[in-house]
Structure 1
């Protein structure tokens, strides 16, 4: 019989292994890793342990190395188990005796004595983590001088952001739900809130969407019945924004499963869009559009607050592959735009190759973003684009890292 809590710890170990060894996202790994974990609470615990382990991995490794005479190999199972054990004590405030009972049981047939000794030594030394997680060396090198502020924002998972179907009702919803708002149509609540139980969920009054993720669609303005194409649209946050702003929306994505979620979200919010299952690199529209929103596939390093796996599985190869795909998508989208139409390009990435280094397609001219279009505290770049990172608006709970450019068809 399993020790109580052991399945959740075993699942957390499998989640971390899938990220570090196979390069999977936590979401991709969750299906297999959590299959034998019963109950929502234990599944959430497994995700929390894995997330905090990845968020603080560099510092957890430093603690482990300080308590061993001979450094454990990076891929040694005792190191992985010790990472999980320390994350539980130092981040989730799990009692040490419970951590020992479940952690050492993951090493049956292995060096349990070594792991027990290292853990006990660190507990006697009152081991502690720094106030800010240390970034992996390669990540710190890529993010440069922004790295310290970004790392500080990664210390805690982010709050919950909602996008409201009716921006005019922002004050009403803020009072009703006890939230704060950084601009009309946005509501911020403390993390840990059960989304399905919040007022307005069943009525479709809002959807979950990070503040930064809501900005690209806003930059297309009111639709007034004109046509808009939402490329790479699932799971639907930006499609719902555009529909609520009065656009006639065509939503395209190449994932059947993710489009099903988009349709569910449209039904819940009672908003309409034409949904198309297709590959944007092969699809051809029957008409040109007044506006196109391309929230392109990317490395998603800007979402490290909620997806700390990106700190460990993204490198130069993935960045180069994504930048190439983005360039091809931009070129195709540019050909589908009416004269005088607007194209907004966005990525939730902190990498310059996916943002600042992308070239404006032939036939398009920059349409600079203005300060008045943005939440207080954010300003456009000198070139008229927008760059956000998790270190911005920190006093208000921060936001994801995004790059956004806006162009118009000549």
Structure 2
């Protein structure tokens, strides 16, 4: 019997969710294996979209499911996961109910298909809707405190596509070529869903994909004028590309061979130069000191929840504590590698204070305040001169990832 069209994408989405829930994997890590038997680009994208919408709205989807069952399904039951997928497609991706049923019920072959069919049919007959913003898991809302409501508003939709230009002076030219918006020189914003490699300028290396928030740390180091900068934990290379384009001589250090290979490929495509170096920053010793260091430290990445909603369900106190310890060690070591007068930008794409503000408490470096004229309109530095962004900001312009950024100097 022939399988219904679209079932491969749904099966891949189920694999993605299983990887997140059972193995704690990120969507990015799980994606290759989960979609290995899906041939079309569009079907791979659909699998990712289904899984992402389930993770984005899971608390609210579970409330709906529980309202239509006499006895709650176990949290890890396959039937609950499939029902989440069915509701996400209907309520978020505008898939007709008959198509949802045809492509999702076969995932429960040999299981409670009748139950899932009954629950979904019951809900489609009701006047139901998801709230304007997703409900955050209780532990996440508690961590983010009074910022939670605004951040949740910023998570309601997947983000647009941000590009960083190699030559910021060409912003208006590329804005016209790509029919894009721009929030500051060197930045472009397009609607999501584009096939990146087919866009004008990709093959020629005129730009690379990078959320505008992720572009701010390198911007805060300014023009290099041939001076030496160390990009720690550099791969896959977006910030190294920025620094090279800003005139720095870049040493790009990372522990991962695979990720450094990506960095090299990105530099080859864009036509810029850097010195990639594979090493563990916790044991490596430089041969000379640097004029500047960019430490975009490994972190829980909760600030990327707009595009990686798996972080809402994978990250807890243990992961935050582990990352904070690593960040403290990296910051301490990197602080000793600056020339007198050198500048270090510390950044994490995390919404957790333990990975941001708390890391500066024991720093031996002096804070160099971020100024308003260095930032896009709608983003302001904190009273202490550091910068914190979150997905609730700039919502009218498509939002922004969550980052903590501090610029520090070694006075010597």
Note whether the superposition's TM-score is higher than 0.5.
Answer: yes
1:150-199: CA deviation from partner (whole Å, max 9, x where unpaired): 11111111111110111111111112221111111111111112211111
Q: CA deviation at 1:360?
A: 5.0
Unaligned 5+ residue runs, structure 2? none
Counterpart-to-counterpart distance in 1, 2:362 and 2:408: 9
Q: How does 1:353-372 map to 2 (within 5 A)?
A: 353-359=354-360, 362-372=363-373
Which residue of 2 is the match for residue 114 of structure 1? Answer: 115
Which residue of 2 is the match for residue 174 of structure 1? Answer: 175
SS at match of 2:148: helix
Which residue of 1 is the match for residue 288 of structure 2? Answer: 287
Which residue of 1 is the match for residue 35 of structure 2? Answer: 34
Q: TM-score, normalised by structure 1?
A: 0.98
Q: How does 1:295-334 map to 2 (within 5 A)?
A: 295-334=296-335
1:357-396: CA deviation from partner (whole Å, max 9, x where unpaired): 1135554111111111111121111111000001111111
- Stretch deviating more after TM superposition (362-371 or 203-212): 362-371
Which residue of 1 is the match for residue 212 of structure 2? Answer: 211
Which residue of 2 is the match for residue 231 of structure 1? Answer: 232
Counterpart-to-counterpart distance in 2, 1:49 and 1:362: 43
Structure 1 segments, 4+ long, off by >4 Å, are: none
Distance 1:362 1:40, change over 3 A: closer
Count of aligned residue pairs for this structure pair:
410
Counterpart-to-counterpart distance in 2, 1:33 and 1:349: 26
> Residues 334 and 361 of structure 1 are in contact (CA less than 8 Å); yes or no, is this contact kept in structure 2?
no
Which residue of 1 is the match for residue 67 of structure 2? Answer: 66
> Residues 330 and 361 of structure 1 are in contact (CA less than 8 Å); yes or no, is this contact kept in structure 2?
no
Counterpart-to-counterpart distance in 2, 1:375 and 1:72: 47
SS at match of 2:176: helix
Q: TM-score, normalised by structure 2?
A: 0.98
Which residue of 2 is the match for residue 220 of structure 1? Answer: 221
Q: CA deviation at 1:126?
A: 3.3
1:32-78: CA deviation from partner (whole Å, max 9, x where unpaired): 21122222121111111101111110110000001011111111111
Distance 1:363 1:142, change over 3 A: closer
Counterpart-to-counterpart distance in 1, 2:160 and 2:87: 24
Counterpart-to-counterpart distance in 1, 2:361 and 2:288: 23
SS at match of 2:358: coil
Counterpart-to-counterpart distance in 1, 2:266 and 2:363: 36
Which residue of 2 is the match for residue 128 of structure 1? Answer: 129
Which residue of 1 is the match for residue 153 of structure 2? Answer: 152
